């Protein structure tokens, strides 16, 4: 790691304009971060600099604190870790025997750091929203009948689409009517609520629900599910459930990796529940990183369907582990 980082000109990764003459060597800090990236915390990294001989050698015996690493990552590094990853791969490609024309692709699922019981199912959300919409229509018709009966100069139109703004406007209108008629809201037991108060509370609840469903649809981004505590995670079938030891849905990510001669060349993380829709964005990301496509991409047969259906993928040459496909 020390030799590789020193040869790829790491100074372009740093922005030291705000630094004074004191502080730790940025190149050494970068080497420690890269060596420990992905599997240790900042506090663990600071501990490794005190007790691990590899990190002691890199830091020349210095022992940065976890806050020193935090400042280095957030203030000094001006390039994302992905760009450094691709620069390292370009160095390996020039200085080692790597057949970049063949990229082996495989994927796996990683459980997200989210509670299993925070699921949102979009099919259920769609059903709840449609039922709520029917209740809103019935309440609007009932309110119009009440206004006509009480000779109130108001007529509320029936909605043709879901609109939080319109429901909030109805709530504000009812609130103004109640204030103009000096109607006090009742919330304690033994006091009957005025019909206008009931309509107001009902439409306020409807507006809140419609807003929640709209947010759910934006967070889902076309997926069938997501987690409330980690909206980017999708509920997927996992191989083991540590709660009740059954194969149930848990929030996770679909991670696709491509390797050539043992070197991981590209990684694509998505919320897709299966691998069928990951091949094309994976290859597009590879092309953005390296400026070219591999000639062959050995992969599982589950990638075959989308490749055959999408004509744009004809530029790729796909082969499979069980049955190779000629160019």
Q: Which two tokens stand for residue 22?
A: 């004191």
Q: Rounded distance, CA 133 to CA 225, Å?
A: 21
DSSP string of 281-321, one letter each residue: HHHHHHHHHHSS--SB--B-GGGHHHHHH-GGGGGS---BS
pLDDT at 227 (0 to 100)? 92
Instruction: Report the SS3 class of residue 253.
Output: strand
286 by Cβ neighbours in 10 Å (0-12 / 13-18 / 19+) ranks as buried
* pLDDT at residue number 102: 92
Hey, is 221 helix, strand or coil?
A: coil
Tell the burial category of 180 from Cβ atoms under 10 Å away from its Cβ (0-12, 13-18, 19+).
Answer: exposed
Task: Name every residue whose Cβ is closer than 8 Å to that of residue 104 and which is 6 or more positions away in sequence.
Answer: 258, 259, 260, 297, 298, 299
Q: What pLDDT, on the 0 to 100 scale, is given for residue 114?
A: 86
Q: 80: which 2 tokens?
A: 């994302």
Dist. CA 268–CA 195, nearest whole Å: 56
In terms of Cα–Cα distance, which of 202, 152, 156 is closest to 177?
152
pLDDT of residue 122: 94
Residue 310, pLDDT score: 52
Tokens 């590899």 correspond to 54
The reported pLDDT for the residue numbered 219 is: 94
Which pair of tokens denotes residue 86?
């691709």
How far apart are alpha carbons 255 and 271 in whole angstroms? Answer: 9
Say if residues 325 and 317 touch (Cβ distance below 8 Å): yes
pLDDT the model gives residue 76: 84
Per the confidence metrics, is the pTM higher than 0.85?
Answer: no
Give the model's pLDDT for residue 326.
41
Query: Cβ distance 196 to 232 under 8 Å?
Result: no
How many of the other CB atoms lie within 10 Å of CB of 120? 19
Q: Could you report how far apart the first and last alpha carbons of the chain are, in Å?
A: 37
Q: Which residues does the chain have with pLDDT short of 50? A: 309, 311-327
Cβ of 77: how many Cβ atoms within 10 Å? Answer: 17
Residue pair 206/139 in contact (Cβ under 8 Å)? The answer is yes
For residue 193, the number of C-alpha atoms closer than 13 Å in the C-beta half-sphere is: 13
């Amino acid at each position: 790691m020390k030799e590789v980082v020193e040869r790829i000109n790491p100074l372009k990764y740093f922005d030291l304009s705000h630094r004074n003459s004191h502080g730790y060597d940025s190149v050494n800090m970068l080497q420690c971060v890269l060596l420990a990236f992905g599997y240790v915390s900042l506090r663990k990294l600071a501990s490794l600099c005190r007790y691990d001989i590899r990190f002691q050698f890199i830091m020349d015996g210095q022992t940065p604190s976890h806050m020193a690493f935090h400042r280095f990552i957030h203030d000094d590094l001006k390039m994302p870790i992905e760009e450094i990853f691709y620069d390292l791969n370009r160095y390996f490609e020039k200085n080692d025997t790597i057949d970049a024309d063949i990229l082996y692709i495989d994927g796996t699922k990683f459980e997200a750091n989210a509670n299993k019981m925070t699921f949102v199912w979009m099919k259920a959300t769609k059903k709840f929203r449609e039922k709520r919409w029917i209740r809103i229509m019935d309440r609007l018709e009932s309110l119009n009948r009440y206004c006509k009966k009480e000779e109130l100069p108001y007529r509320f139109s029936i909605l043709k689409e879901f609109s939080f703004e319109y429901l909030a406007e109805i709530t504000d209108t009812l609130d103004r009517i109640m204030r103009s008629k000096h109607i006090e809201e009742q919330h304690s037991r033994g006091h009957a609520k005025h019909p206008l108060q009931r309509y107001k509370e009902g439409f306020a609840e409807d507006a809140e629900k419609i807003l929640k469903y709209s947010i759910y649809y934006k967070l889902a981004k076309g997926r069938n599910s997501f987690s409330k505590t980690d909206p980017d995670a999708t509920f997927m079938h996992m191989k083991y459930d540590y709660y009740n030891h059954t194969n149930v849905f848990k929030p996770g990510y679909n991670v696709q990796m491509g390797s050539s001669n043992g070197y991981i060349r590209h990684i694509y993380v998505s919320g897709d529940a299966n691998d069928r829709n990951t091949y094309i964005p994976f290859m597009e990301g590879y092309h953005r990183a390296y400026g070219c496509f591999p000639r062959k991409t050995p992969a599982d047969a589950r990638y075959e369907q989308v490749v055959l259906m999408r004509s744009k993928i004809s530029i790729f040459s796909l082969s499979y582990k069980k049955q190779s496909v000629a160019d």
